[in-house]
Copies of this chain bind each other. A is one copy, B any other.
């Protein structure tokens, strides 16, 4: 249940509302949006009688929320959220951003060269994996903290903010020292213990959709983050697992317009993991933006064939320039989504 407050609601009135909620053994979570403040009522097992709340002083309206997620929904916040990664604003009416970089962070020279090339070509954020969750325990697991240091160094050299995946509480604490945004990978989307930890760290979070996650489960994972107090969450579609084997995963662009409709959070797309083949990344990147994505996350390398991981889906700088050019043409399309 959402209790929407009047514009002139005083602090004392709000405190009184919160107190009454807590007396009923429920949790009260005030949420301040740009145009209105609401109090989320959490912890109820069944439907709540609202009579008690609708007539309190300072209450504008009581909304029953039937969906299982609340804080991520447009019911709680009708306006689109804008998330800032470093100095880059993502979401709402901002023009689509492109995050680019190697799958794995590589030695400093190469990584910085890639960062320069990506920035020249139009990237707004540098991505690169320092902690790699690999299917095999015997595969290269990333450079760890050394990788984070290299990313931070690349930021100093190029001015690009940096984002990288974290995989547990300890890598998250390290990441928070070096990064502008923390990424939760698809395999950890339902690692709720980790979500709780990083939701409290204050940094923007890029939350990838799990390989077999429904839209609802994805939004609920974001809800875990918002319930910890952050409002800086980016959703990122990266392909789902289906019977189709012609692509590495099945990039599900069907979800983009609906995620934008259901949630105020920005929605990005990662076509590199989605389609998984270098020669098809650019057409799918175009399609992602055309479907309404607020941005792209791409694996880009100055020498793709020598990438430490995911070489088969990493594009070269020239192809990446093409994607940025495409984005500019696609920005002429009428906006289809609300405020």
Contact = CB atoms under 8 A, between A and B. Distances in A.
Interface of A: 42-43, 68-69, 133-138, 167-169, 171, 187-188, 190-194, 211-212, 214-217, 220, 223-224, 227, 240-247, 250-258, 261, 274-275, 277, 279-280, 282-284, 286-292, 322, 325-326, 329-330, 332-334, 336
B169 A169 contact: yes
A290 B292 contact: no
A43 B138 contact: yes
28 contacts: A133-B190, A135-B190, A135-B216, A136-B220, A138-B227, A169-B169, A187-B190, A188-B190, A212-B243, A216-B246, A240-B244, A244-B255, A247-B255, A253-B253, A253-B287, A254-B275, A254-B280, A256-B283, A257-B279, A282-B336, A283-B292, A283-B336, A290-B290, A290-B330, A326-B334, A329-B329, A330-B330, A330-B333
Contacts of A261: 279
A286 B280 contact: no
Q: What is the oligomeric copy number?
A: 4
A216 B243 CA distance: 13
A261 B179 CA distance: 40
B254 A286 contact: no
Contact of A284 (B190, B215, B253, B284): B253
Contacts of A292: 283
Nearest to A44: B138
A62 to B, nearest CB: 18
Given A212-B211, A212-B243, A217-B135, A284 B42 contact: no
B257 A252 contact: no
Contact of A244 (B187, B191, B214, B329): B214
Contacts of A43: 138
A188, A215, A287, A289: most-surrounded residue (chain B CB, <10 A): A287
A240 B212 CA distance: 9
A133 B168 CA distance: 16
Enumerate the 9 nearest inter-chain pairs by beta-carbon distance, A residue then B residue, closest first.
A212-B212, A168-B193, A247-B254, A290-B290, A187-B190, A286-B290, A287-B287, A287-B291, A257-B283
Contacts of A136: 68-69, 220, 223
Contacts of A214: 243-246
Nearest to A258: B246
Contacts of A247: 254-255, 258
